[in-house]
Chain A
Amino acid sequence: AQSVTQLGSHVSVSEGALVLLRCNYSSSVPPYLFWYVQYPNQGLQLLLKYTSAATLVKGINGFEAEFKKSETSFHLTKPSAHMSDAAEYFCAVSPSGSARQLTFGSGTQLTVLP
């Protein structure tokens, strides 16, 4: 069985500062990994995904994530936060890439301070 741990349910950064949202996973097989973003009063949308190709994955809105097998991590970063990045971010893992086996983390609420 797979699981996802997101460290920090709330993260605050200043506008222009580095964003770092942490995600660690456990999986019995090489996983597919995802980051989804949920803006206020909206559904989730895919930010980026890792599917065993390049370990550094670039997503939308300037976000990227690096797959580190030795650390079982898939942390999300953005060099410079913007006010519009304020949202809840979910890390998710699927052992086979199938959506029916997708397991979500508990989420991290990102606040961007002016």
Chain B
Amino acid sequence: EAQVTQNPRYLITVTGKKLTVTCSQNMNHEYMSWYRQDPGLGLRQIYYSMNVEVTDKGDVPEGYKVSRKEKRNFPLILESPSPNQTSLYFCASSLAQGLGGELFFGEGSRLTVL
């Protein structure tokens, strides 16, 4: 089954404790991205990757890191989480460097930072 898988789905952590949210897709998509969803703000892009070893900042990259060492994986790293990073996070992927605009989303990872 074609899918984007995120882990963990739910996480409660404390300020400053490094964490990684993993994302894996099995569709051989070149393009992958991370969004955060906050009430009343819709989805905002954090980072995106056009292909392996090619990443770039989105609209809200502060406090986040990413890497793309393999085509299927695109982990999101919070080196020192803060309460303002409490949010619902989505990983998404797309064919052909994202042309056509159709994104396939994971089920989301709800993060709470105390």
The answer to whether A43 and B31 touch across the interface, beta carbons within 8 angstroms, is no
Of the four ranges (under 10, 10 to 19, 20 to 34, 35 or more), the interface on chain A belongs to 20 to 34
The answer to whether B94 and A43 touch across the interface, beta carbons within 8 angstroms, is no
The answer to whether A99 and B42 touch across the interface, beta carbons within 8 angstroms, is no
Instruction: With A43-B4, A44-B90 as known contacts, state yes or no: A102 contacts B40, CB within 8 Å.
Output: no
Please report which residues of chain A, range 68-105, place their CB below 8 angstroms from some CB of chain B when the two chains form the complex. Answer: 90, 92, 94, 97-100, 102, 104-105
- The number of residues on chain B lying at the interface, defined by a beta carbon within 8 Å of a beta carbon of chain A, is 29
Query: A28 to chain B: which residues have CB within 8 Å?
Result: none
Most A CB contacts (10 A, CB to CB) among B4, B100, B107 go to: B100
Closest to A34 in B: B101
Closest chain-B Cβ to A15's Cβ sits at a distance in Å of 26
The answer to whether B101 and A98 touch across the interface, beta carbons within 8 angstroms, is yes
User: How many angstroms between the C-alpha atoms of A94 and B94 in the bound complex?
Assistant: 14
- 23 of the cross-chain contacts (CB-CB < 8 Å) are A42-B107, A43-B4, A43-B92, A43-B107, A44-B103, A44-B105, A92-B101, A94-B101, A97-B101, A98-B99, A99-B33, A99-B92, A99-B94, A99-B98, A99-B103, A100-B48, A100-B56, A100-B97, A102-B103, A104-B43, A105-B42, A106-B42, A107-B42
